[in-house]
A and B are shown apart, each in its own frame.
Chain A
Amino acid sequence: MTMLSPSLIYGLTGLLLFVMGLAGLLGCAELLRKILATNIMASGIFLFLITIAHGSGTLIDPVPQAMVLTGIVVSVSSTAVALALACHVQEAARRHDLLQKKRGTVRR
């Protein structure tokens, strides 16, 4: 029986998280779920990158760690933009519904 090394486990978990996030992004209808799904995908990639840093030998490669730190900043900002935009979209949909109700033709 082959031993599963820790770095292999971490790497595969990262890829699994990426695929799960992808399924969520494509499968879920609600915007909030979709945005969270992109976050899970990003976390999966970060875990994968961290595993690469540990990959060879005892020395830890600092480059992937720097990539993860920058990646987290990018991920936080894009999530913030996505959430703000989702609020505006929801507000627009609510106003649209109110307008329809006023005219007496409720759509949903």
Chain B
Amino acid sequence: MTNPALHSSAWLIWPVAAPLTGALLTFLFKDHSRRLGLFFAALSSGLGTALAWQILGHGPAHYALGGWQPPLGIALRADGPAALMVMMTAITGLAVSIYSGGYFQSRRRNSKHHALHSAQEHAFWSLWLLLWAALNGLFLSNDIFNIYVSLELVTLSSVGLTALSGKPPSLVAAMRYLLVSLLGSLSFLLGVGFFYKAYGTLALTAIINSLSLSPPTSMALALISIGLLLKSALFPFHFWLPPAHANALTPVSAILSGLVIKGSWYLFYRFWHVELIFTAVGLVPAILGGAAIIWGAWQAFAQQRLKMLVAYSTVAQIGYLFVAFPLLAETSGQGHGALFYFAISHSCAKGAMFLAAGTFFLQMGHDRIRDLAGVRQLLPVSSFAFGLAALTIMGLPPSGGFIAKYLYINTAINQGLWWLALLILLGSGLSAAYIFRAVSAILSPQLLRIRPALVVSASMQWSALTLALISLLLGIIAPLPLALLEVS
């Protein structure tokens, strides 16, 4: 349309349509839910990757659904950041799906409650594929009302996934998660109303490009920001996250920490990615992010259970996703690179970490950190995966986390934001402290007195390791994702 570089491409609908079809089919055909689920996960992952490849080669694309042009129809739009997020979902999503295939089988084999586990698996596949479609819809929409609908779909499917284990703590956590998320979505919707009143359009790019801070648009932006911060669980809105993430079934924990959080964070980035805003209030997310880094690391250090430790680590890492907002003011684009690099490497590393922690849980029947000593003899591959993921979370070279933190500190020093550079270094030190607590227990040379039979399948161990390796590899292939991000 106005931008000649923008080409129309039907590739945009497939990353949404494929998982959505999968969700319906897995729901209808109960007996084949695993096979169908794995097939559609592979298909969605392939189509997501294909889209990212297209965008890298041909530049940003748009697509008007049903041939209806924007004021009436819904427009999809993919530029570099959106394609990178779709790609991230494709990689983490595929690894989690392969893990889930083995996870539910192992649980069923080692329990008397066959019917319960089958019902859980059936519900898991349709909810997970629905969530996948909703996330891709969120990343690719250019219509803020359609984004609201995607946000609600993400909420409802992830609440369903959280409650799936059926245990009282996860039910209570899911209820709280639902209420917080509903509050966030409603706040977002009221903001959409204010934006429509001010600009008479729902197109995200049009709103962002003509943004000026008058009272109604400030109100809209405040409502939308608060809603998204609630959903992203940025300190002090993090209270609902640890119980929800730690008590869910393992694949669900990995999905929630690795992907769902990134959805609302990405939208926040979209709305805040305007110079006007961070000169006015850019320090607010940075200060909250700094508090999250310190508080999350402190709480993670105090946890007795491995999954709780990993969940509080997510609270701290969300802080890094927001602390860098003042860095976006720099025009070189290095700030954006740092931010997105952190997001994708965290997605892979935290996914791998939760998957490995869940494998320990299933094998040992608990996840008390001090009683995990000796687990590496039983599960060498998962222990290695946990260790590799820990490298990225701590930000040691050559991992993706290292590149992200290096870019953060470099950009911060270039802009004279010394306190920010120091804060990031301090956060890395704190994360090393809690990570070492977990890793030293898992890798301790202590021998197990009794050697129980292995109950977990190989696919669970190797999928976690692959994801951890990808998070490490991101440090080596840094130019490729950064080139994709530049497309805009």
Contacts and interface: CB of A to CB of B under 8 A. Distances in A.
B196 A64 contact: yes
Contact of B171 (A34, A41, A48, A88): A88
B149 A74 contact: yes
Interface in A75-98: 77-78, 81-82, 85-86, 88-89, 92-93, 95-96
Interface in A18-75: 18, 22, 25, 31, 34-35, 38, 41-42, 45, 48-49, 52, 55, 63-64, 67, 70-71, 74
A89 B152 contact: no
Contact of A41 (B175, B178, B186, B196): B186
Contacts of A52: 193, 196-197
A48 B168 contact: no
> Which of A34, A42, A78, A92: most chain B Cβ within 10 A?
A78
B146 to A, nearest CB: 9
Given A38-B186, A52-B197, A70-B145, A89 B179 contact: no
B159 A45 contact: no
Contacts of A81: 156, 159-160, 178
Nearest to A67: B145
B196 A45 contact: no
Contacts of A77: 156
B163 A88 contact: yes
Contacts of B156: 77-78, 81
B183 A25 contact: yes
Contact of A34 (B160, B179, B193): B179
Interface string A1-31: 0000000000000000010001001000001
Interface in B173-219: 174-175, 178-179, 182-183, 185-186, 189-190, 192-193, 196-197, 202
A87 to B, nearest CB: 10
Q: How large is the interface on A (under 10, 10 to 19, 20 to 34, 35 or more residues)?
A: 20 to 34
B161 to A, nearest CB: 12
Where chain B touches its partner, the secondary structure class is helix
A85 B178 contact: yes
B223 to A, nearest CB: 10
Nearest to B146: A70
Nearest to B198: A52
B125 to A, nearest CB: 18
B179 A25 contact: yes
A42 B192 CA distance: 13
A108 B186 CA distance: 35
Nearest to A11: B197
A52 B191 CA distance: 13
B378 to A, nearest CB: 33
B179 A38 contact: yes
Given A78-B182, A93-B168, A71 B189 contact: yes
Contact of B168 (A70, A82, A92): A92
Contact of A55 (B175, B185, B197): B197
Given A78-B155, A89-B175, A96-B168, A45 B189 contact: yes
Contact of B175 (A25, A45, A86): A86
Contacts of B183: 22, 25, 38, 41
Contacts of A95: 168
B172 interface: yes
A31 B202 contact: no
> Which of A45, A48, A85, A88: most chain B Cβ within 10 A?
A85
CB-CB nearest 4 A-B residue pairs: A92-B168, A38-B182, A52-B197, A41-B186
Interface of B: 71-72, 145, 148-149, 152, 155-156, 159-160, 163, 166, 168, 171-172, 174-175, 178-179, 182-183, 185-186, 189-190, 192-193, 196-197, 202
7 contacts: A63-B202, A67-B192, A67-B193, A78-B156, A85-B175, A88-B166, A96-B168
